[in-house]
């Protein structure tokens, strides 16, 4: 059963109402602008509303620059900024720690690290609105994770400029996790119970004004309203990609890994610099999106079971990476044995049929927000070699471990492994630090 409810209104009209709410109830509206299609639509819609309603003084925009990316994206950000001279702009070129999925030895890399300036893939922008470690208006700690750096910027911006509606180009049809952000019955911290909002701190609320848009809606709006967009999408189109495959993520990030081969063709002059920037980029450029990188229908050597193949792959990892993977694997195993997870009757039946030894507790899992009964079950046997469950992260299995390793996902997020207590404590400290701003 679909969880969407359709009204007589259209998504454009509803989005403009959400944007109006943000402008009318907050001191500032800050757009998180990545240079992709979704954030681009958000920026253009906010600018259109602010200009038509004489509220440009309340509109701000920031772009987080990851150093390595498509030149077309950086050109687009610059052109978009130039078209909006009235706005206060921030182009963040900070020494952050960015996620890296193309290397077995580097799970993170550090854009704009001064000590590695000779390895930078491009020069730092020089416009007056660029924010770096030399002119940052708040106490920025070098090496902060990119995700946390964005949270920090939102906090510090609100502290300086006042209560802020942070506009994020999130669309629910891109993934189930994004859909859950909007639809979860466990959500409590919203602005006046508007489900397309999320409280980040006392002074900052995320707004998702295009959460119910489809990819097609984005391109229809660009065409009908004459908005500027990233020309990288034209190159993707000429390369034969569908509109649903086109991504502008950092090429070292897991969501950009699959199309590294396209990066080589689109930005050949930068390719050599990228190879020296992060170990493993060339391999990912050759095999990203193939079974060698854990995509599509992965196959194993015939003389191995999936468990034996996983053990073989684990032995090939660098020592620190191996220790990290084994730690998370043991943690996942322990959680399944001692606490268990809520699963619906269909999933439990498949696990039973596949010979998984389960302890059925008879208790409903209160964490599951979907309709139906989700019984907490504990796994008493070893992981199965593989599973027929469509979303096989629902049942840990050795084939899933192999795919996770080949994706360079050594925290097992692909298999549904949650954050550790240390990771949650670090996140909690950040939230506590700014909760009274």
pLDDT, tens digit, for every residue of 51-92? 999 999 999 999 999 888 788 999 999 999 999 999 999 999
| 41 and 15 part of one domain | yes
395 within domain boundaries = yes
How confident is the model over 29-60, as pLDDT tens digits? 999 999 999 999 999 999 999 999 999 999 99
Angle subtended by helix axes 71-82 and 37-52, to nearest 10: 0
| Rounded Cα distance, 436 and 308, in Å | 52
pLDDT band at 5 (very low <50, low <70, confident <90, very high): low
> Do 150 and 50 share a structural domain?
yes
Give the rounded percent of residues in the chain with a pLDDT score beyond 90: 51
Instruction: Report the pLDDT value the prediction gives residue 29, as an integer from 0 to 100.
Output: 98
Single out the residue of 123, 112, 48, 44 nearest to residue 79, CA to CA: 44
At 276 the pLDDT is 55
In a domain, 38, yes or no: yes
Lowest mean pLDDT across 11-20, 167-176, 196-205, 246-255: 246-255
Residues 237, 88: one domain? no
Radius of gyration of the chain (CA): 23
Q: What is the pLDDT of residue 292?
A: 41
Q: Which pLDDT score, from 0 to 100, does residue 284 have?
A: 40
Question: What integer pLDDT is reported at residue 290 of this predicted model?
Answer: 43
| Final residue in a domain of this structure, among 218, 253, 269 | 218
Domain termination residue (choose one: 293, 319, 340)? 293
Q: Looking at the structure, tell me whether residues 198 and 263 fall in a common domain.
A: no
The pLDDT assigned to 411 comes to 79
Query: Does 33 reside within a domain?
Result: yes
Instruction: Say which residue, 104 or 380, is predicted with more confidence.
Output: 380
For residue 162, give the CATH number of its domain.
3.40.50
Asked if residue 430 is part of any domain, the answer here is no
At residue 366, the pLDDT reads: 80
Residue 191 has pLDDT above 50, yes or no: yes
108-112, 169-173, 429-433, range with greatest mean pLDDT: 169-173
More confident residue, 136 or 429: 136
pLDDT at residue 264 in the model:
59
The pLDDT value recorded for residue 289 is: 45
Q: Of 418, 382, 380, nearest to 306 (Cα)?
A: 382
Average pLDDT over residues 333-352: 92
Confidence of residue 151 (pLDDT cuts 50, 70, 90): very high
What is the secondary structure of 390-428 as a DSSP string?
SSGGGS--HHHHHHHHHTT-TT-GGGTPPPPHHHHHHHH
Per-residue confidence (pLDDT) for residue 183, from 0 to 100: 73
Residues 286 and 179 in one domain: no
pLDDT at 272: 53
Contact, 43 vs 219, CB < 8 A? no
Contact 209, 221 (CB under 8 A): no
d(CA 352, CA 169): 41
**Residue 313 pLDDT greater than 80, yes or no:** yes
Q: In total, how many domains does the chain have?
A: 3
* Same domain, residue pair 50 and 186: yes
Contact 104, 147 (CB under 8 A): no
Highest mean pLDDT among 63-67, 234-238, 296-300: 63-67
pLDDT at 369: 66
What per-residue confidence (pLDDT) applies to 437? 46
* Mean predicted confidence (pLDDT) in 284-294: 41
- Measured in whole angstroms, how far is the alpha carbon of residue 155 from the centre of its chain? 20
Instruction: Decide if 223 is inside a domain.
Output: no
Of 11-20, 157-166, 191-200, 408-417, which gets the smallest average pLDDT? 408-417
User: Which whole number is the average pLDDT over 243-256?
Assistant: 68
Three-state SS string across 100-148, please?
CCCCCCCCEECCCCHHHHHHCCCCCCCCCCEECCCCCCCCCCCCEEHHH
Same domain, 279 and 383: no
Q: Are residues 258 and 335 in the same domain?
A: no
Q: Are residues 155 and 49 in the same domain?
A: yes
Same domain, 152 and 44: yes
User: Which residue is it, tokens 């391999």?
Assistant: 283
- Within a domain: 299: no
Among 184, 218, 252, identify where a domain stops: 218
Q: In this structure, are residues 3 and 183 in contact, taking their beta carbons and an 8 Å threshold? A: yes
Helix (H) / strand (E) containing 341: strand 341-343
Q: Which of 422, 426, 434 is nearest to 139 (CA)?
A: 434
Other beta carbons less than 10 A from residue 218's beta carbon = 23
Structure tokens at 75: 């050109």
As a whole number, the mean pLDDT across the chain is 83
Q: Give tens-digit pLDDT for 219-234.
A: 999 999 999 999 989 9
Partners of 99 in beta bridges: 108
Q: Determine how many CB atoms are found less than 10 A away from the CB of residue 291.
A: 14
- Cβ atoms of 380 and 358 within 8 Å: the answer is yes
Q: Is residue 21 part of a domain?
A: yes
Sign of the alpha-carbon dihedral angle for 405, 411, 413, 415: positive
One domain for residues 19 and 54: yes
Q: Is residue 432 part of a domain?
A: no
Least confidently predicted of 127-136, 281-290, 356-365: 281-290
> How much is the average pLDDT of 120-132?
93
Range of the domain at 197: 11-218
- In this prediction, residues 313-339 reach a mean pLDDT of 88
Residues 362 and 286 occupy one common structural domain: no
């Amino acid at each position: 059963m679909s969880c969407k409810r359709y009204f007589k209104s259209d998504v454009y009209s509803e989005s403009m109402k959400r944007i109006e709410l943000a402008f009318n109830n907050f001191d500032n509206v800050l757009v998180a602008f990545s240079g992709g299609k979704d954030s681009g639509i958000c920026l253009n819609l906010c600018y259109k509303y602010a200009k038509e309603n004489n509220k440009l003084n309340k509109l701000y925009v920031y772009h987080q620059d990851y150093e390595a990316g498509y030149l077309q994206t950086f050109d687009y950000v610059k052109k978009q900024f130039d078209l909006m001279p009235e706005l206060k702009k921030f182009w963040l070129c900070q020494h952050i720690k960015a996620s890296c999925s193309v290397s077995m030895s580097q799970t993170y890399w550090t854009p704009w690290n001064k000590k590695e300036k000779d390895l930078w893939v491009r020069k730092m922008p020089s416009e007056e609105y660029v924010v770096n470690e030399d002119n940052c208006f708040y106490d920025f700690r070098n090496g902060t994770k990119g995700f946390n750096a964005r949270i920090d910027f939102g906090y510090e911006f609100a502290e300086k400029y006042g209560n802020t509606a942070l506009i994020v180009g999130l669309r629910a049809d891109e993934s189930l996790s994004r859909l859950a952000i909007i639809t979860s019955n466990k959500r409590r911290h919203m602005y006046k119970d508007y489900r397309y909002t999320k409280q980040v701190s006392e002074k900052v609320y995320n707004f998702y004004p295009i959460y119910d848009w489809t990819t097609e809606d984005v391109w229809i709006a660009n065409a009908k309203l004459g908005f500027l967009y990233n020309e990288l999408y034209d190159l993707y189109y000429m390369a034969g990609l569908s509109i649903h495959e086109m991504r502008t993520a950092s090429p070292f990030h897991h969501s950009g890994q699959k199309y590294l081969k396209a990066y080589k063709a689109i930005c050949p002059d930068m390719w050599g610099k990228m190879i020296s920037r992060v170990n493993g980029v060339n391999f990912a450029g050759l095999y990203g999106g193939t079974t060698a990188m854990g995509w599509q229908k992965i196959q194993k050597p015939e003389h191995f079971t999936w468990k034996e193949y996983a053990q073989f792959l684990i032995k090939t990892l660098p020592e620190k990476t191996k220790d990290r993977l084994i730690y998370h694997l043991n943690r996942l195993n322990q959680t399944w044995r001692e606490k268990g997870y809520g699963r619906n009757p269909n999933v439990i039946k498949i696990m039973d049929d596949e010979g998984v030894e389960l302890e059925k507790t008879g208790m409903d899992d209160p964490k599951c927000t979907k309709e139906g009964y989700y019984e907490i079950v504990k796994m008493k046997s070893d992981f199965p070699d593989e599973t027929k469950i469509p979303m096989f992260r629902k049942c840990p299995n050795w084939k899933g471990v192999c795919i996770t390793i080949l994706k360079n996902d050594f925290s097992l997020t692909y298999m549904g492994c949650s954050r550790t207590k240390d990771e949650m404590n670090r996140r909690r400290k950040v939230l506590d630090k700014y909760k009274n701003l």
